[in-house]
């Protein structure tokens, strides 16, 4: 009887030990699976902003059509420059026009053709000051069309703005940009 009790106790101990080992295996497997799932669901590193390589002459033609449509749809009395910038002087300023060597102080709001606002010094509550040589070519050519105190609109083809580069989350590659500007000061 003692032998049977000892064998029975050994068998129970063995079964309990096997069950615990099996549970440990499941736990280890579960942890491994959880780690793999976590690795698969981790956010990948942010890729660089996309670029869209398009023939620059073709893009300039597309931009010109888009700008002409925007001007017509909005009934703007716009003039154009040789480079393709369209502009409207809503209020004449006084004094000398800025040059590439000038530092300018401006208030502005920037929009895409669909009306999406992507930046605004008005919203920030203070004008922006910068050397004209340090901005996109469209501003380098467009801002000198105004005199201090002048107000208006500049419509910049993508090739004179950011071209095939996407800027941030709001400005897609090859975007025509529209700026309402107020030239406050020229230094």
Do 81 and 164 lie in one domain? The reply is yes
- Banded model confidence at residue 158, pLDDT cuts 50, 70, 90: very high
Do 72 and 29 lie in one domain? The reply is no
Quick one: pLDDT at residue 137? Answer: 97
For residue 12, report the phi and psi dihedrals to the nearest 5 degrees. Answer: -65, -45
Do 73 and 134 lie in one domain? The reply is yes
Alpha-carbon dihedral angle through residues 66, 85, 168, 173, given to the nearest 10 degrees: 50
CA atoms of 15 and 23, how far apart (whole Å): 12
Do 174 and 85 lie in one domain? The reply is yes
The token duo for 10 is 């050994």
Model pTM score: 0.72
- Domain total of the chain: 2
CA atoms of 13 and 29, how far apart (whole Å): 24
Domain containing residue 140: 56-186
Quick one: pLDDT at residue 37? Answer: 54
Dihedral (CA of 133, 135, 141, 145) sign: negative
Do 97 and 20 lie in one domain? The reply is no
The pLDDT tens digits for 114-154 are 999 999 999 999 999 999 999 999 999 999 999 999 999 99
* Residue 60 belongs to a domain: yes
* Residue 182 belongs to a domain: yes
Strands 151-156 and 128-131: unpaired
- Domain containing 73 — which CATH number? 3.10.50.40
């Amino acid at each position: 009887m003692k032998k049977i009790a000892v064998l029975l106790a050994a068998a129970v101990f063995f079964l309990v030990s096997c069950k615990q080992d099996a549970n440990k295996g499941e736990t280890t497997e579960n942890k491994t699976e959880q780690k793999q799932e976590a690795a698969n669901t981790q956010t990948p590193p942010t890729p660089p902003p996309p670029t869209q390589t398009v023939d620059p002459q073709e893009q300039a033609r597309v931009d010109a059509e888009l700008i002409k449509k925007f001007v017509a749809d909005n009934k703007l009395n716009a003039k154009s420059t040789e480079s393709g910038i369209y502009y409207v002087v809503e209020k004449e300023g006084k004094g000398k026009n800025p040059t590439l060597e000038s530092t300018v102080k401006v208030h502005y709001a920037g929009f895409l053709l669909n009306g999406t606002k992507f930046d605004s010094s008005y919203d920030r509550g203070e004008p922006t000051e910068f050397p004209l040589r340090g901005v996109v070519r469209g501003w380098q050519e467009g801002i000198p069309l105004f005199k201090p105190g002048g107000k208006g609109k500049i419509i910049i083809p993508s090739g004179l703005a950011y071209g095939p580069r996407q800027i941030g989350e709001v400005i897609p590659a090859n975007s025509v940009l529209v700026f309402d500007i107020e030239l406050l000061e020229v230094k």
